[in-house]
Amino acid sequence: MSPRRRHAGSPRSRSRSRPAPIHDAVRRTRHRLRKLRRPASSASKASSAEINSATCQQGDISQDVRNMRQELVFEKLPEDILHRIHSLLPVQDAACAACVSRGFLRSWRCYSNLKLNDRTLRLTDRKFEERKIHVIDKVDKIIKNHYDNGVKVKTLKLDIASCSNIKGSYLDKWLRMTFKSGIEELNLEMPLEMKKNYSFPCSLLSDEAAASTIRSLRLLACAFQPTSTLGLLRRLKFLNLALVHITEEGLGHLLSKSSALERLEIVGCDGIVFLKIPCTLQKLKFLTVTKCKMLQVIEIGAPKLNSFHFGESLLGISVKNPLELKHVNLSSFCMSGILSYARTRIPSIARYVESLILLGCSENANTPMLPSKLPHLKNLEIRLLVPVVGFSPSYDAFSLVSFLDASPALESFILHVELGAMTHDPVVGDDDEYLRQKLGCQYNCLKLVAITGFCSSKSLVELTVHIVESTHSLERLTLDTTHGYDSRVGIIGKCPTLRKIGQCWAMNKRALEEAHRAVKTAGRYIMGRVPLAVQSEVLEPCSRCHTGNQ
């Protein structure tokens, strides 16, 4: 019979994970004390050399004890501060700290932030099919231990993705215990198979006391059917529903009880066709709606909405109070026409927008020239993604001038072009043969222009030349012929070769050849037109990362 394993909530089970300096001191001290505690008969026969050695060992022990005291000097901090520090630690580190500190041990007995997953429960070394039993056992012991000892669970982040088809009775019991203690933050992540097999117990939120304490609620892969019996969620500020089966009526009940809501995220909820954000959400500032396949209409009445992120299909969007809406992000990974849609609809949806991010894929239709304006737009970022199968990358990059002409206050323009997102028709001939008719537009506020994935496409060169010759306020121009230096930090800049940190986005042989052509094209047709007062650079492939072997 294998020895019994202690659950993750026990400080003793963490003794092997003590911080290195303290753990080493404890181990050396115990070893030397054992050697000194020999029987008297053996001690009388010890040689002088052994006695001298023991004396030295005693001195080492004293030194180790002094070192340990220095390591644990933080225990002299006030108890409330010590508890605050302990509460900020992940559950695994918090249990470990309780093994070597009496102050943290006292704090552990009322530790209120539980993050339970395969890693924190130390189950990553077990086979995936074996984890279910151990997860249930460990989680049950930890939550029951807190409940039995009257310890309030403020935060529960429970990830049981490895437990397919877990019985709903376990989840109901754990949730009842934590909600009775007055939970403030709940993050429940379940396997996708549970989306139809488990329904979140809304009766827990019908209790006014429990409903009034919850501040953050995130549910992944379950059913959630709120009713009119919900209590007032007067402190709920963050709500995230991902792959949750919820109806329009149920969501309406939930939002009607959440007047303090500040951030709402709805992802992959296919049961919603008409999404109505009521005007009663007076504090709602951030709204994200993505991957809801059945959604057709969004009606936003929240008067303080500041940021709106919408993805996937193109549909009817109306904003009743657009005055505070300053940041908009529209993306579509499976449909074409997002740029044309944005150019047509954004002026009426968010006329006061200051920051606009657009992700377009398979843009066969060029962006139309329209009289409507975006008078407050300051930052524009556009990503041209690789088209889906069946589409030809025939987008005319020069048509993006429509956005520039509509934005008199524009200060920065960033364009990301993925390899294959547009036709590479290299520029050939004299410098003036490819220039289009000048539009006569002047951009008096534009200061920063950056193009990642710059290639030798004729329309892209024409767009860049037009910007350079029409912008007297330009301060910096960056043409990155790769697809972004230093992918770790995700910014445009030179690869930190000397420090050996970060790594550039990979480039295959085809992309590398196109990058070298783009460098020559930029040098011949663009850089000579850039005023001397403008900081300009053409970023070539990195000699360390871009070898063409990726």
DSSP notation for 136-168 = HHHHHHHHHHHHHTT----EEEEE-TT-TT--H
- Secondary structure class of 505 (helix, strand, coil): coil
Beta-carbon count within 10 A of 64 CB: 17
Q: Of 3-17, 79-93, 175-189, 410-424, give the range with the top mean pLDDT.
A: 175-189
Nearest to 413 by CA among 397, 425, 424, 426: 397
Indicate the pLDDT class of residue 484, thresholds 50, 70 and 90: low
Neighbours of 389 (CB within 10 A): 5
Q: Which pairs count as long-range contacts for 52-61, CB under 8 Å and 24+ apart, including other chains?
A: 57/32, 58/32, 60/28, 60/32, 61/29, 61/32, 61/33
Cα separation, 377 vs 368, whole angstroms:
18
Q: What's the confidence (pLDDT) of residue 550?
A: 52
Provide the pLDDT for residue 464. 94
Burial grade of 404 (CB within 10 A; 0-12, 13-18, 19 or more): buried
Lowest mean pLDDT among 290-299, 321-330, 354-363, 527-536: 354-363
Read off the pLDDT of each residue in 271-282 and give the average, rounded to a whole number.
94
Task: Compute the average pLDDT of residues 480-508.
Answer: 57
Q: What is the pLDDT of residue 7?
A: 39
- Residue-level pLDDT at 394: 72
| Spatial contact of 459 and 396, defined as CB atoms under 8 Å apart | yes
Distance CA 342, CA 329 (A): 10
pLDDT in tens, 326-336: 999 998 766 66
Q: Which helix (H) or strand (E) holds 36?
A: helix 20-36
User: Where does 69-223 show beta strands of DSSP type E?
Assistant: 113-116, 155-159, 185-189, 216-220
Q: Is the pLDDT of residue 38 over 70?
A: no
Give me 42's structure tokens.
Answer: 């053996």
User: How much is the average pLDDT of 10-31?
Assistant: 43
pLDDT value at 366 more than 90: no
Specify the pLDDT at position 122.
80
Q: Comparing 8-12, 72-76, 252-256, 419-423, which segment has the lowest mean pLDDT?
A: 8-12
- Does 173 have pLDDT greater than 70? yes
Instruction: Read off the pLDDT band of 10 (50, 70, 90).
Output: very low
Return the SS3 of 308: strand
**352-363 confidence digits (pLDDT tens):** 999 999 988 766
Between CA 214 and CA 238 the distance in angstroms is 10
pLDDT at 15 over 70: no
Give the pLDDT band of residue 440 (cuts 50, 70, 90).
low
The packing angle between helices 20-36 and 48-71, to 10°, is: 150
Please name the residues in contact with 304: beta carbons below 8 A apart, sequence gap of 6 or more. Answer: 282, 283, 284, 285, 324
Mean pLDDT score, 107-124: 78
pTM across the whole model: 0.78
Higher-confidence residue: 541 or 41?
A: 541
Residue 542 confidence (pLDDT)? 78
Going by pLDDT thresholds of 50, 70 and 90, the confidence category of residue 409 is very high
Model pLDDT for residues 368-402, shown as the tens digit of each residue? 788 899 999 999 999 988 766 545 567 788 989 99
Residue 88, exposed/middle/buried by CB under 10 A (0-12, 13-18, 19+)?
exposed
Using only C-alpha atoms, the chain has a radius of gyration, in whole angstroms, of 31
Q: Which of 56-60, 322-326, 458-462 has the highest mean pLDDT?
A: 322-326
- Position 232 scores a pLDDT of 94
Q: Tokens standing for 226?
A: 């709120």
- Region 237-260: mean pLDDT is 96
Q: Which token pair is 403?
A: 């956005």
Segment 98-121 shows an average pLDDT of: 74
- How high is the pLDDT of residue 64? 53
175/169 Cα distance (integer angstroms): 10
To the nearest whole percent, how much of the chain has pLDDT over 70?
Answer: 70
Q: Angle at Cα 405 formed by Cα 345 and Cα 399, nearest 5°?
A: 75
Domain boundaries, the chain: 11-77, 326-394+407-423, 441-550
Which residue shows structure tokens 């151990």?
A: 134
Residue 451 identity: I
- For position 532, what pLDDT does the model report? 93
Tell me the per-residue pLDDT of 304-323, one tens digit each, with 9 for 90 and over.
999 999 987 667 899 999 99
Beta bridge partners of 144: none
Point out which residues pair with 309 in neighbouring strands: 288, 329
80, 148, 458 from 196: Cα distances, Å: 44, 32, 52
∠ CA 148-149-151, rounded to 5°: 110
User: What is the average per-residue pLDDT within 483-506?
Assistant: 51
Question: What is the predicted pLDDT for the residue at 8?
Answer: 40
Q: Average the pLDDT over 437-454 and give the result.
A: 84
Provide the pLDDT for residue 418: 83
Segment 482-508 mean pLDDT = 54
238: confidence class by pLDDT, cuts 50, 70, 90: very high
Percent pLDDT > 90 in the chain is 41
d(CA 349, CA 333): 21
Average pLDDT, whole number, for the chain?
A: 79
Higher pLDDT, 520 or 48: 520
Ranked by mean pLDDT, the top range of 325-329, 414-418, 491-495 is 325-329
- For the cut 90, the answer to whether the pLDDT of residue 2 exceeds it is no
Higher pLDDT, residue 78 or 231: 231
**pLDDT tens, 182-235?**
899 999 999 888 888 899 999 999 988 889 999 999 999 999 999 999 999 999
